Every structure is written in structure tokens, then in C-alpha cells.
Amino acid sequence: MAVNLPVPIAPRAAPRNATARTAIIGRAALAFWLVGTACVSAQVSVLTQHNDNTRTGQNLQETSLTPTSVNATQFARLFQYSVDGDVYTQPLYVPGVSIPNVGVRNVVFVATEHDSVYAFDADHIDGTTAALWQTSFINPAAGVTTVSYMDVASTDIAPEIGITGTPVIDATSGTLYVVAVTKEQDMYVQRLHALDITSGLDQPGSPVVIAPEIAGSGDGGSAGVVGFDALRESQRAGLLLSNGVVYVTWASHGDHPPYHGWIVGYDAHTLEQVAVFNDTPDGSNGGIWQGGGGLATDADGNIFCVTGNGTFDANSGGRDFGESVLRLDTSDGLQEQDYFTPFNYVALNAGDLDLGSSGPLLLPDQPGAHPHLVLAAGKQGTIYVVDRDDLGQVHSRDDSQIVQSLPSAIGPAFGTGAYWNGTVYYAGVSDFPKAFQMTNGQLSATPVSQAATKLGFPGASPSVSANGTSQGIVWIVQSDGYGSGGPGVLHAYDATNLSLELYHSPTTSGPGDAGRAIKFAVPTIVNGKVYVPGRSALTVFGLLPSIATATSTATATGTSTATPTPTTTGSPDPSPTTAPSTCTGDCDDNGTVTVDELVEGVNIALGLAAADECPEFDCRGTGHVTVDCLVRAVNDALDGCSVVGGA
């Protein structure tokens, strides 16, 4: 996304001389261009559920959070934002967003069950808990509300249902796509919105009412047509943006019929419906919920999904695909190309052992006879390793046609696995987070390492941060305290050996905890911070300020530094550090800011110079030199030094 850098604030006094002013403005303009292009390109975005369209859950450009720096004395909760409802969605992140009347900010986006979308300053540099913007899709005075759990006769999501599936962002157009469900008088409506990420306003043509239909004789249909039931269909899985189309999926609320597994595609520019697929058009159920995981795509644009309990008759000429892994062709709408269904699908249906309780995980190309693999794991705890080019369909007695199956390898899976550096990670129910090694296209029969923490329901979806193939950390949010009002617990493990736990947040409610737990929580790890969704809150963890500064210095200079003594101990919840009362950018403390000092500030912002070479550029006390700090320095160079506050 193009970044519009802020214009320097209007002078408070006449410049000292026109020549100096012209020189400063020219050099500052070049400085801002460098920062705007280099800094933003160097930062990482998280635009979709589990980080990418293959759903690996990995961020390979994390340099601040390492197995050395993440520990109980250097890493802790930094701040928390309150929101108006439960956050089942994964936080999304875009760096360098130009917010009207605010300036350029790194922005974290969250959506709630109260039908709101928020944009927050991801770094809390202004020291305020207010949102950059908030958009609400309800209007109680006009009879437009969220949907009560009593309306759907299920406590799976309670007390209200609004936005459940993780949105998706198109950084090129600056658009966030999200589905919201509302109750309007006695009607239930689901809409796809396209929001401008700078303001939260609907883009032209947004929203559109979701109302697909398909020919079939399935449950809830009439006169040969199966329609979409906005009350019964639950939009749980993360949205997918692929090749200019936004794909949305649905399942059920508590298995209450009639429902089907729908996938609907919308043109990302016009929001015109361009594709429809129903996985049980002549049957029932088959929800595509995937524990909140998103649809996955391969390099050819094929879509992969995993379906839940439902009618299966594809092996006898039918077109119903309950309990299956599907590959869908997207070249002309959505067409089923191939499928895999476990041999014991009848028992899975009878025992409510959805294969589709966990989403698909597409691996990078592997050595061996089957380079293109998709992994799936459901409530039975079996990990299925399947060739994406030949899913294998169904056998009557076993699953020998697929690459590999590992029965009971993990506890019941209600979250998507993660992949990093030849290793696959799962965290099942009543089980320990486990790591399996990939060798020649097959998983190790037993875990190569596992954590010591046993997870209750619903397990977790692991995520990984790393600097390429080194410094890997596996992150999970333990959310089994959600039913009792307990906190979520953020865990960090050494990715090369899960028995080495680097950090965990407090296990009881209190200062420094991760906020009240919400089931299926997926953390977002990006640019030195960890964003944890919860009940009515977004909680942010990272390195303590003194540690962050030291880490930044070590990265910029390419040399290691001794670990400094932390400013706090335990798991504090520090307030933002107040900026020093000095002239921003006055490196030598002589009361003026020179062109050379401005250039020095730019070099620090770009990581070409150490932060301690001129701490006066860190106007927010965050350990980083931001564009706003450079703007302040330019204004002080133009107008003379002023006292810089912490606001």
C-alpha cells in the first residue's frame, strides 16, 4: 500500500533565514521519502488469517523477538485496548497507514462480536487507549442489533453474534473485507463490507447482502433450489483474498439445521458475486468452519477446504462432500476437482468427529515423490498427509491411497497446524503442543519434541516467528479458561525444541495477564510485538522499553550487546514512557537541530545507525525513531527548539 507521509506542521515562528529553511526542507523531503519507502517495505504486514494463503502461520521476518530476548524478565505485556465485544478474529496488521488528522501509524485491526471493526495504533505511541477509528454495523435505535445466542439456540458463541470470521485486507487498494451479521426487526441479514483502512468507511459499492442460491434438493431447499439461511449459517472461517476475488465460507451454529457448507466468491473491486459452491447441495450439513482457519490456495489458484459432519455420496455418483478435503478449481467460478474422504467417514459422522474442525495447511514444496502436500487433522486426532495433485478420493477399508496418516498422533484438533523450517506443529485438546519433522515428504511417526503444558479444550492454533531459518519461536494462546472467566495464557516455545518454554503470561487474572480468554484465539506476531485477542480486549506483548532499545541498537550495528538490567521485573503492565523534555533531533544538546542531525535521524530510522548515537530522535520513548519524530525534528529545525511532550 502506498504510504502518504505527513506534511510538517505549520511553523510556529518565522524561520531563521530563507536559505537555511530551503536547505532543511529539501533534505527533509529526501529523508521522508527514504523512510517512507525503506521503512515500510522492511516492515511486515499480516493481512489474512494465519499469515498467508497457505495458512502456515509463520512470519519469517521477525528480528526483535528471539529465543534469547523472549523471557520473563525482558518480555511482558505492554498495553491493552478495550473493545465492545468478544474478539474471535485474529488481529491483522498493516504498517505505515496514513490516518486522516492523525498521521502515519502502524495499525492493528480487530473485529468484534458486537459488530464493530477497530483500527488501533499498533505501537501505542500516542499513549491513548482511543481507537484511530471504529466502525459499527448496528443501530439499536433503528432496530438493528447483533444476533443473540438464543436466536440460534446455541451457546457456541455467546452472548451475541456479530463478526466471527477473520477479515482479509487488500494492502494495494487499502481495503478491509469483513462479514457482519445483524438482526433487523424480525429479519436476519449477513453483509460483506469493504472498508477503507484509513477511515473505516465503506468503499463505493459496499456493503452487499449475502444471498446465494444453488440448484439442488438439499435440506431447506424448495422447488429444486437451495437458498442461503442468514440465521442458520455461521461465518466462522477466515476470509480469503485470491486473484482479485474475496471468498467467504459458512457452517452452522451448534449443528442446528438446515445448513450447508457454502463458499461464495465476490469480485474484490465491485463486490459482485462471481462464484458459488455448496458442498451438500442434495444433502445436509457439511459445514466449512475449520476452527476459524481460512481457506487455503496453491500457486495455481486452486482452493482447499476441509468439511465437517454431513452427507457424503460422491463415491456413488453424488455431489455431496461431508467429512472431506476438497480441491476446487477457480478458473470458472468454483468447481470441485478432487477430494479425499477418510475410509471411516460413517463413524466420523455418527460420533460428531468432524474432519473439518481444523483447517488445511499447505506445505512448501517437499523432496520426494509427493512435493505438493496438504495436511488436515480433525476431532479424531489423526493427521492426514495428502498429495494436493491427487487427493486420492476414498477407499473402503483404509486410507492407504494417501501419502500418510498418523492415527491418534495428537488430541482432537480445533485449530490449524503451523509449519516452519521442515517442522509441523499441532496443539490438540487434552494434549501437549507437538512438533513433527518432515523428511522426504513424510512426517515423523512420533513427535520430535513436545511442550510440557497440557492443553484443555479447544487446544490451540500455533504460530511461528523467525528470522528466516533461525531464531524460531512457536507461539500459542492457551484458552481453556474461557468458560470460567480466566485469562488466556500466551506461551512461547523454542521452535527447535518445544520442551524449552521461553515465556508464559500469568495463569491467573491480574496485572500482566493476556486478558480474559476467548476460545480459538490466534495471536499475531509482527514487528516485535504479539497481539492477543480476548474477551472485549486486545492485549499487546513485547520487549520492555529498555530491552527494545538495546535490541534495536544491536540489529542496527550488527554487533551484540550485553543484556541490560530490565527496568521492571515479573510481568508488568507499564504505561507508555514519557518522552524526554528536549529538542527532538538535537543530538549535541546545543539548542538547535541541523541538517546533518536530520540525516542522522533518518539513518537511525532506516537501521543504518545505532539508536544510541542520537537518543533525542526517540521522541516517544519507545526505542524507535518514527516518521512523526522526524516531523517534529524538522519543525524544530525550522522554528527553533520546543519542549516535546509525551502526547
CA 299 vs CA 172, 294, 362: distances in Å: 20, 16, 11
Residue 81 is given by DSSP the state E
Helix (H) or strand (E) holding 41: helix 40-42
Q: What was the pLDDT predicted at 647? A: 32
The reported pTM is 0.83
How many angstroms separate the CA atoms of 617 and 611, rounded?
8
How many angstroms separate the CA atoms of 107 and 95, rounded?
6
β-strands 160-161, 147-148 pairing: antiparallel
Closest CA to 289 of 253, 257, 314: 253
H helices of 569-640, in order, are 595-605, 627-639
Render pLDDT for 356-413 as a digit per residue (tens, 0 to 9): 999 999 999 999 999 999 999 999 999 999 999 999 999 999 999 999 999 999 999 9
Range 181-193 average pLDDT: 97
Residue 279, burial from CB neighbour count under 10 angstroms (0-12, 13-18, 19+): buried
Asked whether residue 319 carries a pLDDT value surpassing 70, the answer given is: yes
Q: What was the pLDDT predicted at 579? A: 38
Lowest-pLDDT choice from 83-92, 281-290, 458-467, 546-555: 546-555
Asked whether residue 578 carries a pLDDT value surpassing 50, the answer given is: no
Asked whether residue 550 carries a pLDDT value surpassing 50, the answer given is: yes
Residue 615, burial from CB neighbour count under 10 angstroms (0-12, 13-18, 19+): middle
Asked whether residue 513 carries a pLDDT value surpassing 90, the answer given is: yes
Render pLDDT for 460-471 as a digit per residue (tens, 0 to 9): 999 999 999 999
User: Given pLDDT bands bounded at 50, 70 and 90, which one contains residue 606?
Assistant: low
Q: What was the pLDDT predicted at 18? A: 53
Residue 314 is given by DSSP the state G
Q: What was the pLDDT predicted at 553? A: 46
- Look at 170 and 616; give whichever has higher pLDDT: 170
Render pLDDT for 225-274 as a digit per residue (tens, 0 to 9): 999 999 999 999 999 999 999 999 999 999 999 999 999 999 999 999 99
The percent of residues in the chain predicted with pLDDT above 90, rounded, is 77
Range 410-436 average pLDDT: 98
Render pLDDT for 289-311 as a digit per residue (tens, 0 to 9): 999 999 999 999 999 999 999 99
How many angstroms separate the CA atoms of 10 and 7, rounded?
9
Q: What was the pLDDT predicted at 572? A: 38
How many angstroms separate the CA atoms of 82 and 218, rounded?
43
Degrees, nearest 5: CA angle 494-463-80: 100
The rounded mean pLDDT for the chain is 88
- Look at 625 and 164; give whichever has higher pLDDT: 164
Closest CA to 130 of 90, 101, 158: 101
Closest CA to 446 of 416, 424, 477: 424
How many angstroms separate the CA atoms of 165 and 457, rounded?
20
Domains in the chain (CATH in brackets) are 18-42+577-639 (no CATH), 58-549 (2.140.10.10)
Please count the other Cβ atoms lying within 10 Å of the Cβ belonging to residue 26. 11
Please count the other Cβ atoms lying within 10 Å of the Cβ belonging to residue 324. 28
Asked whether residue 113 carries a pLDDT value surpassing 60, the answer given is: yes
Beta bridge pairs of residue 111: 117
Range 549-564 average pLDDT: 39
Residue 163, burial from CB neighbour count under 10 angstroms (0-12, 13-18, 19+): buried
Asked whether residue 615 carries a pLDDT value surpassing 50, the answer given is: yes
Q: What was the pLDDT predicted at 549? A: 54
Lowest-pLDDT choice from 64-68, 300-304, 570-574, 580-584: 570-574
Asked whether residue 7 carries a pLDDT value surpassing 60, the answer given is: no
- Side chain identity at 170, as an amino acid letter? D
Whether the Cβ atoms of residue 336 and residue 328 lie closer than 8 Å to each other: yes
User: Given pLDDT bands bounded at 50, 70 and 90, which one contains residue 347?
Assistant: very high
Q: Which three cell numbers stand for residue 446?
A: 512420533
Closest CA to 242 of 326, 283, 152, 302: 302
Render pLDDT for 14-64 as a digit per residue (tens, 0 to 9): 344 555 555 555 545 544 444 444 444 458 999 999 999 999 999 999 999
Residue 203 is given by DSSP the state P
Q: Which residues contact 354 (CB under 8 A, 6 or more apart)?
A: 308, 309, 323, 348, 378, 379
How many angstroms separate the CA atoms of 487 and 421, rounded?
31
- Side chain identity at 165, as an amino acid letter? G
Range 198-225 average pLDDT: 98
How many angstroms separate the CA atoms of 573 and 77, rounded?
5
Look at the block and give the residue holding cell 461431508: 322
CA dihedral 516, 519, 520, 526 (to 10 degrees): 0
Closest CA to 542 of 534, 533, 532: 532
| Residue ranges of E strands in 487-601 | 489-494, 501-504, 524-526, 529-534, 537-543
SS3 at position 531? strand
